[in-house]
Structure 1
Amino acid sequence: MKLWVLRHGQAEPYARSDAERELTAQGREEVLRSAAHLIGQPLHAIIASPYVRAQQTAQLVREALGFDPQILTVPWLTSDNNPLAVVGHLDYADNILLVSHQPLVGNLIGLLQHGHLRAPQPMHTASLAELEADYPLAGAMTLNSVKHP
């Protein structure tokens, strides 16, 4: 199975709440550059944080790929969630894209690759990581690449 982890594109610095921050024009361009790396990949699902910038990122990817299924929005992909809990939700996963935020994305990638939270993966806005393994288990996945827009 492959797992792609995408950090949302650049977002405006302020909004009424963190959850309401929208992508900037530069952020939309970053996302489209990252989405190009997913063309032709065997993607089965896009799962995203409910925050506006993550939803906008996921929708841009969906449109760029011509991906038919709807985006699955889940509360466990916000920035302050525990990466261990996220791994618990991935037991059914097969070739999925997660769209979320720092520090969750970096901590999740580090956990999946190393089995601990002491080595988070640096992720810029719209950075895309590709991991692979038989099962999405902490310490059992190989980080194939990280692409920055």
Structure 2
Amino acid sequence: MKMWILRHGEAQNRARTDAERELTAKGREEVLTSAAHLMGRPLRWIIASPYVRAQQTAELVRQALGFADSVVTVPWLTPDTDPRKVLQNLDLYASDDVLLVSHQPLVGSLIGLAVHGNLQQAEPMHTAGLAELEADFPLAGAMTLVGVRHPG
């Protein structure tokens, strides 16, 4: 399986709640830059956090790629989710290539857990940063980090 992890683009500093923060114009540009690196990839799923900025990011990617299916929204991709829970939930998608759209600190911790098997070696991820990982199964310490791209 290949797994891409995309942090949402730059978002507003303030909103009524953190979950309601929207992408800025710069954030939308960042996302489209990262989406270009996914062109031609055999994605089967785009899975996103329910937070507005992640939903907007996922939808921009979906449109840029001409991805026919809907974005799958899940409650286990919010900023403070335990990365171990994400890996457990990914068992359902283990035979497919997936794009996860989420937030810090989750994305950095998830990459660290997937590659190093622990939560002490989080990967720094800028807004709209895109990480590519691969493995036979999404298991802690069993995935290889192919690379990380940051827009700009």
Say yes or no: does 1:118 pair with 2:120.
Answer: yes
Aligned length: 149
Whichever residue aligns with residue 26 of structure 2, its letter is: Q
Write the deviation string for residues 119-143 of structure 1: whole angstroms up to 9, x where unpaired: 0000000000000001110000000
* 1:109-148 matched pairs, under 5 angstroms: 109-148=111-150
Write the deviation string for residues 88-114 of structure 1: whole angstroms up to 9, x where unpaired: 001122200000000000000000000
**In structure 1, what is the equivalent of residue 67 of structure 2?**
67
Q: Once the two structures are aligned, what percentage of the paired residues are identical?
A: 70
CA shift, 1:62, in A, is: 0.1
- Rounded Cα–Cα distance in structure 2 between residues aligned with 1:18 and 1:135: 32
**In structure 1, what is the equivalent of residue 102 of structure 2?**
100
- Rounded Cα–Cα distance in structure 2 between residues aligned with 1:86 and 1:67: 23
- Rounded Cα–Cα distance in structure 1 between residues aligned with 2:97 and 2:19: 27
Tell me the TM-score normalised to structure 1 length.
0.99
- Rounded Cα–Cα distance in structure 1 between residues aligned with 2:116 and 2:92: 21
- Rounded Cα–Cα distance in structure 2 between residues aligned with 1:85 and 1:101: 15
- Rounded Cα–Cα distance in structure 1 between residues aligned with 2:70 and 2:63: 11
Tell me the TM-score normalised to structure 2 length.
0.97
Superposed CA RMSD: 0.4
Q: SS state of the match for residue 118, structure 1?
A: coil
| Structure 2 residue runs without a partner (length 5+) | none
